Amino acid sequence: MTSVQLVVVGGGPGGYAAAFLGADLGLSVALVDPEASPGGVCVYRGCIPSKALLHVATLIDESRRAKAWGVDFGEPKVDLAKLREFKNNVVKRNTAGTSQLVKARKIQYLQGLAEIVDAHQLRVKPTGGGAGVEIQFEHAILATGSTPAIPASLQLPGEGDPRVMDSTSALDLPDIPRSLLVVGGGYIGLELGTVYATLGSAVTIVEMTPGLLPGADRDLVDVLAKRVARNMKDVLLETRVVQMKADAKAVRVTMEGKADPKEQPFDRVLVAVGRRPSSDIPGLDRTRVQVDDRGFIMVDEQRRTHEPSIFAIGDVVGEPMLAHKASHEGRVAVEVIAGENVAFAPRAIPAVVFTDPELAWAGLTESQAAKEERNVSIAKFPWGASGRAATLDRTDGLTKLLLDPESERLLGVGIVGPGAGELIAEGVLAIEMGANATDLKLSIHPHPTLTETVMEAAEVFFGQATHVYRPKRG
């Protein structure tokens, strides 16, 4: 029996950030995860491998576009085995790093699955088999993450078929199918759809709602949707898959909605219709921890469950299911356990879709403001007026600020365009620091960069943007 002050169940970006901070604050810490190293979904089969592949997709796309700038690289030849090796090495590099950090911090890393015995004890079943390890703890943090949700209507009858993929198998890049159906026009469908389309697959996206990325503002999505329409074979909105059958030649998919014909054959199908929280932790029912009707573990603003010794963080406690939200929650929970009076109360959690162009937002969105009937001022700077965007031959982007009309305080930022994922960080900092339009306007931004679009959007708010003539009425 091992005894620790803190045990963390799940080694994803939430769990390992929590374990690391716990050790930094002087707690004795154990971290449990079935993989050989911490990393979780994000590092092994999520954020990191997908972004490695998207980096290559961007390179291919740029090299094709370069023809118009007088540089012809020819059509790229893709060595799939080498591409897989690159992606796998990126993952290995990350997991080697997390393992090293576990050792340096003297954290007990237990490779296995945790089962809860009671509010102060759990048992770890080692991944490779063998005797279980019992751990007594003062506090536990549950960070068990999420798995792909595959509704019954999107499963093939019988044993299943490797041609119907989830994000994990799609990231393995089994081949470059001639035709790929992506079910779901959200984060994963668009990111992995972009990878496969750039590598040469004819990609069809079906999305059941009237637009791609239902949670994002339409003016931003419109810019992305134009490019997606160009790169994909078909984008079918308000369409659902009602049946799938497989034969030796293809997966035959019957759709309801805008598809014509209704039944179409595909070499492969990627199902990306959301993720389900992994709250089915064995023994959880031996505690007072409660789970809501969507399967999320219920927590308060300090990330404490209904069982005072047990906290929960990350995908398993709710949306947005994002790595940086999980890490931040993990750090909050540990500080609470260490006796600090803190809470999870961000003003802005950035969201980035790493498509081409990237789409990012932070803080209040326009659709959220409309839903809440909140009066906001909106200032938009079109990238057609940005010198930097022109040098990149990417003038289709947009930077948008949402401001409080009275205090002129920044409430939200939305950006679409290459590099939006990097640019949004300035918005997050400005919102968290309570910056107003004058702060953004008066901060000198380097020229020529896309960061100037944030400053100039603030100038638009005052009707004084250098590169946009839009005087303020009245």
Residues that bind ligand FAD (CB under 6 A): 9-15, 32-35, 40-42, 46-47, 50-51, 113-114, 143-146, 167, 188, 278, 281, 314-315, 321-324, 326, 354
Burial (CB count within 10 angstroms: exposed 0-12, middle 13-18, buried 19+), residue 35: middle
Q: Residue 348's binding partner, choosing from ligand NAD, ligand FAD, none, with beta-carbon cut-off 5 to 8 A by kind?
A: none
Q: Is 164 in the site for ligand NAD (CB under 6 A)?
A: no
- Prior bond to 261 cis, omega within 30? yes
Determine the residue type at 415: I
Q: Is 186 in the site for ligand NAD (CB under 6 A)?
A: yes
Q: Residue 41's binding partner, choosing from ligand NAD, ligand FAD, none, with beta-carbon cut-off 5 to 8 A by kind?
A: ligand FAD
* Closer CB to ligand FAD, 34 or 257, in the complex: 34
* Binding test (CB under 6 A) with ligand NAD, winner from 60, 90, 117, 208: 208
Report the alpha-carbon distance of residue 320 to residue 302 in Å, rounded.
17
- For residue 336, the SS3 value is helix
Cβ atoms of 266 and 250 closer than 8 Å: yes
Give the interface size with ligand NAD as a residue count (CB under 6 A): 25
* Binding test (CB under 6 A) with ligand NAD, winner from 110, 181, 206, 424: 206
Q: Is 183 in the site for ligand NAD (CB under 6 A)?
A: yes
Q: Is 21 in the site for ligand NAD (CB under 6 A)?
A: no
Whole-number minimum distance, CB 362 to ligand NAD, in Å? 12
First to last CA, the chain: 74
Q: Is 296 in the site for ligand NAD (CB under 6 A)?
A: no
Alpha-carbon 214 to chain mean position: 15
Q: How far is CA 200 from CA 78, 109, 195, in A?
A: 10, 42, 9
User: Which residue lies nearest ligand FAD, judged by its C-beta?
Assistant: 145
Q: Residue 184's binding partner, choosing from ligand NAD, ligand FAD, none, with beta-carbon cut-off 5 to 8 A by kind?
A: ligand NAD
Q: Is 188 in the site for ligand NAD (CB under 6 A)?
A: yes
**Any catalytic annotation for residue 467?**
no
Cβ atoms of 165 and 159 closer than 8 Å: no
Q: Residue 179's binding partner, choosing from ligand FAD, ligand NAD, none, with beta-carbon cut-off 5 to 8 A by kind?
A: none
If we measure between CA atoms, which residue out of 279, 235, 278, 285 comes closest to residue 255? 235
* Closer CB to ligand NAD, 16 or 354, in the complex: 354
192-228 burial by CB neighbour count: b if 16+ within 10 A, else e?
bbbbbbbbebbbbbbbbeeebbeebbeebbebbbebb
Which residue's structure tokens are 């900092």? 429
Q: Is 356 in the site for ligand NAD (CB under 6 A)?
A: no
Q: Is 257 in the site for ligand NAD (CB under 6 A)?
A: no
Applying CB under 6 A, the residues found at the interface with ligand NAD are 183-189, 191, 206-209, 214, 240-241, 272-275, 320-322, 352-354
